Structure 1
């Protein structure tokens, strides 16, 4: 598998219907990482992990590592071709790498959030996804928040995520993560 530079094109910033290829793309990345890195577990998170949920076509992944130094784990991913991007989510306590891969003749952006088991990236993402799987009303509410955020700023991911925050916090409160 070859990892290319994250595709900044606007077609990757639109909110689209769920695409069954997302789970295949995740499986392709997971195989590649498992073949090349020890002691890393990958979990498909975010909108593309929830069948039927509309979202931006970016496959988000939590990379759960046993390494104490998360930045060292980030460097391991960089050796595989993923790269750092100067974005607000890349912090010492939550390193981030990204890339773009080909799957069935199409390009898919990949976001990998590196964390320890049980930290908020891991635990909260799984709880949030679980409630959206089980509650169509909350899934619709989240989609509406995404649509609203996209109307405000379809280009800047920081603004997009900030605009969804109130609904995410409301859903977190319903599942005891507030």
Structure 2
């Protein structure tokens, strides 16, 4: 499957794509919450057409169980990819939609960052536009240096998460993968 490498205007089909992915995960995520996070979960926000999905487990002790279930579904566990508290997966060969899949523990920093950023951008049009503009500014990097693309958004992501938490400055915690 080809990785989407561009930032596009919001597509109202993205929630439907998430529903397809969630339905495919349902037998493997029984007892866990499957949540749409990331830019495609924010109506009106420009994004890469990649659906970000969190499988939310209630405790760290259940992470291995969730990993085993997702591997049984054909996903390949890739570790945390540098973001503590977020276990990432490569797509199964029969994936119908390109997506990023993570296992997170309910309420841990990785989960909170995903939810705080999503919910803040849903509620704040000015910040949603700032974030979209920054992503469009950096979009040329998607074909050559995805790490630079993510890093280029980092300071703004941290600022937005801090605003969502009620403070005015970023925490400097390196949470730019949110």
TM over 0.5: yes
Task: Report the equivalent of 2:133.
Answer: 144
TM-score by length of 2: 0.80
Q: CA deviation at 1:86?
A: 7.9
1:133 and 1:139 in contact (8 A); partners too:
yes
* Equivalent residue number for residue 158 of structure 1: 147
Q: Indicate how the Cα distance of structure 1 residues 157 and 85 shifts in structure 2: closer, same or farther if over 3 A, else same.
A: farther
CA-based RMSD: 2.3
Measure the CA separation in 1 of the matches of 2:102 and 2:145. Answer: 19
2:25 is the alignment partner of 1:36: no
- TM-score with structure 1 setting the length: 0.80
1:1-178 equivalences in 2 (<5 Å): 7-9=1-3, 12-66=4-58, 68-85=61-78, 88-89=81-82, 93-99=85-91, 101-102=95-96, 108-176=97-165, 178=171
Q: 5+ unaligned residues in a row in structure 1: which ranges?
A: 1-6, 103-107
Q: Is the 8 A contact 1:88 1:158 kept in 2?
A: no
In the alignment, which residue of structure 2 is the partner of 1:4? none
State the SS of the aligned residue for 1:112: strand
| Unaligned residue ranges in structure 2 (runs of 5+) | 172-178
TM-fit CA distance, 1:143: 0.9
Count residues with an aligned counterpart: 164
Residues 32 and 49 (structure 1 numbering): CA distance in 2 closer, same or farther, change over 3 Å? same
Taking structure 1 as reference, are residues 71 and 36 closer, same or farther at Cα in structure 2, changes over 3 Å only?
closer
Q: Which digits, 9 at most, give the CA deviation of each residue in 1:75-116, with x for residues without a partner? A: 321210222358835x663211132633xxxxx211111011
